[in-house]
Amino acid sequence: MSGDRNIFVVGLNDFNRQRLERLRGAEHWRFHGVIPPEAVYDTEEFDIAAMLAEATAQLEAFDGPIDAIVGYMDFPVSTMLPVLCERFGTSTTSLSSLLKCEHKYWSRRVQREVIPDFIPNFTAFDPFDDEALTRIGEAGLFFPFFIKPIKSSGSRLGFRIDTPEDFYQAIDQLRDSIGTIADPFNTVLEYAHLPPEIAAVDGHFCMAEGIIGGWQCTVEGYVFDGEVVSYGIFDSLRYPQVLSFFHYRYPSGLPDAIQAKMRELTDTMMTHIGYDNAAFNVEYFWDEVQDRIWLLEINTRISQSHCDLFEKVDGVSNQQVAIDLGLGQRPDMPHREGKFAMAAKFFHRVFFTDALVTRVPTPEEVASLEADFPGTMVEIQVAEGQWLSSLAEQDSYSYALAHVWMGAATAEQLLADFEQLVARMVFEFDQIQG
């Protein structure tokens, strides 16, 4: 029909196309992929300049109006969108406001301007500086502390540091691997007008921060024409005694007053940054013992991990928000209209240093599990003959063998169902390294 809107999705794959086509208004939208998904999924090689050139050529060649350019992934997609949207006149936030979220040092500096009591002590350091540990101490940070690149993807290259030995082991890994994201991130920084104190801290730098912790959660929100809207809060629950995520749960079980304070902090922060007409999510900790809220980090996108959970509980994926905003309109996001009162995304993990995968659940076994637990979706993350160490985007402590999305009436039922499902999911390994 003549009124159809052309929406270009960076890294569009079949799985997300099906989800997008279930959104409100989708009968009037035509989805087009920009940059093949394999260039932004399951890889750690990001040639930003080449991807921007490829996307620009494809968009310029399109014979018709370009109504929206959107994405739903972290780096490098999130950082390319403002460049493309500005070039083609579509709606999103400015590159500088996005970088005030994604450049971790710049983000902490702007957070300190308005919510200083809700962030830890921090400093930037150069991992290639042999005196880095001394400089961290001079900034008032002492063991234990946490280090991570100023731009990372997922939980990669993040380390808790308890001793000098921990620090130097982490530095070896950072020096070896930081370039895979630092180099392309620096390409993005070249498009921005940075203050001198930020320009001096490029993608090869790291952050050291005081240890924060507690009940971790994520506020999903968006800004539309200057109005900040937080429309869902998720709990991020970890395996006991380790940093690896066990599951994301929606809706949050946090006390109402804590959720309200997190929404207030989010409003203050996103308004101060000047973020507008785009989706975001903000990760927080609530330290229940000290009754203290900490802002962990700001992500400039919807969370893909939350899409199915929103669909189960509220009735529509949060991709509704990304598409509506990309079209320049207020998001049409329902509330509690889904089939389940609770939903979770589980990470089925092993805590090996490495191993060779010799068996994974068959497609028939997965289909049987999904049939026995209505609403469940299982994505196997490994293949027979694969070394776990070859998996992309893993944290520093474990490997995710499968992602499992489930819905239930209560949090207790979610856990019970997951335990039953995992007991029937058979993986086997050889040459296990402790």
CATH of the domain at 251: 3.30.470.20
Same domain, 170 and 265: no
| Main-chain dihedrals φ then ψ at residue 294, nearest 5 degrees | -120, 135
Work out the average pLDDT over 89-109. Answer: 97
Q: What is the mean predicted confidence (pLDDT) over 343-370?
A: 96
User: Quick check: 399 and 350 in contact, CB under 8 A?
Assistant: yes
**pLDDT score, position 397:** 80
Same domain, 54 and 189: no
Same-domain pairing of 235 and 348: yes
Same domain, 269 and 412: yes
Whether 276 and 235 map to the same domain: the answer is: yes
pLDDT at 156: 77
Domain that holds residue 150: 121-209
Q: Is the pLDDT of residue 66 over 60?
A: yes
- Look at residue 155 in the predicted model and tell me its pLDDT: 66
Residue-wise DSSP of 318-383: THHHHHHHHTTS-----SS-SS-SEEEEEEEEE--SEEEEEE---HHHHHHHHHHSTT-EEEE---
Among 334, 300, 337, residue whose Cα is nearest residue 320: 334
Query: Looking at 42, 65, 98, which one is the last position of a domain?
Result: 98
Residue 299 lies in a domain: yes
How large is the average pLDDT for residues 66-88?
Answer: 94
User: What's the structural domain count of the chain?
Assistant: 3
Q: Are residues 424 and 311 in the same domain?
A: yes
- pLDDT above 70 coverage of the chain, percent: 98
| List of residues 6+ apart from 416 with CB closer than 8 A | none
Q: How confident is the model at residue 30 (pLDDT cuts 50, 70, 90)?
A: very high
- Residue 431: its H or E element: strand 428-433
Q: Name the least confident of 81-90, 238-247, 254-263, 284-293.
A: 238-247
Residue 303 maps to a domain: yes
Q: How far apart are CA 232 and CA 384, in angstroms?
A: 38
- pLDDT at residue 1 above 70? no
Range in 11-15, 27-31, 283-287 with the lowest mean pLDDT: 11-15
Calculate mean pLDDT across residues 377-388: 96
Tell me, yes or no, whether 163 and 297 share the same domain: no
Looking at residue 130, what is its pLDDT?
97
Quote the pLDDT of residue 53: 96
